[in-house]
Amino acid sequence: MCKRIVAGAAVPLCLLLASACAGPQEAGSNQALTPSTAANASSLSGATASASPSPGIINVTLDISPNEVKIGDVVMTMALEAPRHLADQAMQFALTAATNIDPAQPVPTPVEGTSKGALVLSDMLKTSNNMDPTQALPPDTAQAIVRHAVVQIRTADTGQPVPYLGVNLDILFDGKPTTFGQPLVPMVQQEAQPPRMYYGNNLRLGQRGTYQVFVRMSRSALLGKDQPQAAQFNLTIR
């Protein structure tokens, strides 16, 4: 009788010990990621990363045609170069002539990869998209392509630059106006030797495609008898 009682009591005790041993193992298995849950976590992480992509930087090539346009007694050429930092002529002369410069005032120091400079001879307020000489040039993106327009107007017979002109341009993209009356002001490329006078400004173009650029000159006695209206250039951005 005693043996039966002991044996009967031993069975529940073993079951109790077995269930106690199995409990922590089952809890530990719930904390571990199964292959399916790991895949779901990975896909969720990828979706989060792709939700905020960085702005795309693109490489573009620009073609301008024709090389030059003869209108009246002048010949006009146009080029698009890297954006430039534009400095006011009067302020530049004042800084050069000053002898009591305050050493406490910070002096902008151009960094590598910044724009070259252009001295604006007049109408500094009409310039646009000026570049900070302490900042690197902005890269080309699908939404904004910034270039410096360099328009040279020379006499057809002697090839001398024609000063004191009112020049502006209109830009059409696939026949639709995007820029109207953008001033081009007299400038001198500071690092050029010898210095060259031209009409320019920083332009912001929107995207790849075909543009029509009309450069217009106001009437002037320097332009001869035939008063030119506009010179058309075709710009293709690929």
pLDDT band at 234 (very low <50, low <70, confident <90, very high): very high
Residue 170: enclosing H or E segment and its boundaries? strand 167-173
Can you give the pLDDT at residue 192? Answer: 82
Q: What is the CATH number of the domain that holds 218?
A: 2.60.40.2480
Within a domain: residue 57?
no
Within a domain: residue 10?
no
Within a domain: residue 19?
no
Please say if the pLDDT value at position 21 is more than 60.
Answer: no
Please say if the pLDDT value at position 12 is more than 50.
Answer: no
pLDDT band at 145 (very low <50, low <70, confident <90, very high): very high
pLDDT tens readout for residues 88-131: 988 876 655 555 556 666 656 666 666 789 999 999 999 999 99
| Number of domains comprising the chain | 1
Structural domain for 231, as ranges? 62-95+113-237
Can you give the pLDDT at residue 119? Answer: 94
Contact 228, 217 (CB under 8 A): yes
Please say if the pLDDT value at position 42 is more than 70.
Answer: no
The pTM assigned to this predicted structure is 0.71
Q: Mean pLDDT throughout 178-185?
A: 95
CA 217 – CA 190 distance, rounded (Å):
24
What is the DSSP code string of 117-158? EEEE-S-GGG--SPPPTTSPPPPPBSS-EEEEEEEEEEETTT
Please say if the pLDDT value at position 15 is more than 50.
Answer: no
Within a domain: residue 228?
yes
Q: Residue 17 has which token pair?
A: 């010990």
pLDDT band at 41 (very low <50, low <70, confident <90, very high): very low
Within a domain: residue 33?
no
pLDDT tens readout for residues 199-210: 999 999 988 999
- Residue, of 145 and 105, whose pLDDT is higher: 145
CA 132 – CA 11 distance, rounded (Å):
86
Within a domain: residue 161?
yes
Can you give the pLDDT at residue 195? Answer: 86
Within a domain: residue 66?
yes
CA 238 – CA 235 distance, rounded (Å):
10
Within a domain: residue 102?
no
Can you give the pLDDT at residue 151? Answer: 98
